[in-house]
Amino acid sequence: MDKPLNILLVDNDPAQLRTLSLYLESEGLSVCATTDPLEATNLVRGKTYDLLVVDLMMPEMDGIELVKACRHIQKNLSAILITGHIDKMDQYGSDIGLYFKTVLPKPLDIDLLIEEISKSTRYGGNDMSTKEIQEKLVEDMQSWMKIEDAAVSSTGAIIEKTDNPVIRMVMEIIQRDSLMHRHVQEFIKDTLVKEPVVMTTDELADVWEMIEKHIEIEKKTIDTARDALEALKGKKMVVQEYLLNYLLVDEQKHDSLLETLAMIKKGMYPYG
Ligand SMILES: [Fe+2]
Ligand SMILES: [Fe+2]
């Protein structure tokens, strides 16, 4: 039989906590319940939980502060927020989307909560635990890094063998990209085995003006590449067209990286 999911339940209302706890246990979940958010952080320090289910309004620490504190200890802890103030959620802005898989209103619909629990702890339809997913991801990154190493040496060998400047240029592009890919794979791996990484909306806001200016720069490069390609149309300048197409796609890639950041900032992208 599968190991039951470990749920950490935090609500300052003891009656609500007890009822909810009994319901979840009757569904076969393993539940740790506390009315005290500080005790909750201690519990997270001592054990890995699959999911935190937390009330928004609590006297010592609200649900958002609590999930932030817990994520410092268990970086990928999923969370569901419960609140009797669903109408006031706007004031919390996009942070909610960063920290919670979902927000459920009080009075709580238990069936809906059970459904959300199974959704937020099941990844892409498989039943792997968060820890198993992390381990698989680390393995995948390690084997991918080896493939990039092979790409770097293979492009190097081709560069050595040919004097043709176009082939050399293409191989140089691929070689540098492969090094960068490897760097990103290593970064992803490190976020799982060393330092967890978070990005807050405040950190984004700090540099957002500069990023917006940079987005303008990227748009200009895309326009320039398109203009140049337009000018070449039908002129049979195969090499130039080939390389300009590469530049266009690459500039579009930069643009899309930044557009995704903008979506994360608006809370429209499920980050975290
Ligand atoms: Fe690659
Ligand atoms: Fe660019």
Measure 165 CA to ligand 2 centroid, in angstroms. 23
The ligand minimizing its distance to the Cα of 215 is 2
What's residue 122's pLDDT?
59
Measure 215 CA to ligand 2 centroid, in angstroms. 9
Identity of residue 270: P
Phi, psi of 29 (to 5 degrees): -95, 150
Phi, psi of 176 (to 5 degrees): -65, -40
Q: Which two tokens stand for residue 203?
A: 């950190």
The strands making up 78-83's β-sheet, listed across from edge to edge, are 30-34, 6-10, 51-55, 78-83, 102-105
- Cβ atoms within 10 Å, residue 234: 5
Contacts of 228 (CB under 8 A, 6+ apart): 244
| Least-confidence region, from 26-30, 154-158, 184-188, 211-215 | 26-30
- Cβ atoms within 10 Å, residue 270: 10
The ligand minimizing its distance to the Cα of 150 is 1
The ligand minimizing its distance to the Cα of 221 is 2
Q: What is the pLDDT of residues 257-268, one digit of tens each?
A: 999 998 888 876
Between the ranges 98-107, 114-123, 237-246, where is the mean pLDDT highest?
237-246
Which residues in the chain belong to E strands, given as ranges?
6-10, 30-34, 51-55, 78-83, 102-105
Q: Is the pLDDT of residue 63 over 60?
A: yes
Residue for token pair 């319901």: 23
Kindly write down the DSSP assignment for every residue of 173-190, as one continuous string: HHHHHHHHHHHHHHHHHH
Q: How confident is the model at residue 127 (pLDDT cuts 50, 70, 90)?
A: low
Q: Is the pLDDT of residue 124 over 70?
A: no
Measure 186 CA to ligand 1 centroid, in angstroms. 12
CA distance 214 to 257: 12
211 in Cβ contact with 261 (< 8 Å): yes
Q: How confident is the model at residue 202 (pLDDT cuts 50, 70, 90)?
A: confident
Q: What is the pLDDT of residues 74-91, one digit of tens each?
A: 888 889 999 988 877 777
Phi, psi of 195 (to 5 degrees): -85, 125
Q: What is the pLDDT of residues 148-171, one digit of tens each?
A: 999 999 999 999 999 999 999 999
The ligand minimizing its distance to the Cα of 224 is 2
Q: How confident is the model at residue 109 (pLDDT cuts 50, 70, 90)?
A: confident
Measure 178 CA to ligand 1 centroid, in angstroms. 4
Measure 264 CA to ligand 2 centroid, in angstroms. 20
Task: Mark the residues whose beta carbon lies below 5 A from ion ligand 1.
Answer: 178, 181
Q: What is the pLDDT of residues 217-244, one digit of tens each?
A: 999 999 999 999 999 998 999 999 999 9
Q: Percent of the chain beyond pLDDT 90?
A: 54
Q: Is the pLDDT of residue 64 over 60?
A: yes
The ligand minimizing its distance to the Cα of 220 is 2
Task: Mark the residues whose beta carbon lies below 5 A from ion ligand 2.
Answer: 251, 254
What's residue 125's pLDDT?
42
Reduced to 3 states (helix: H, G, I; strand: E, B; else coil), residue 260 is: helix
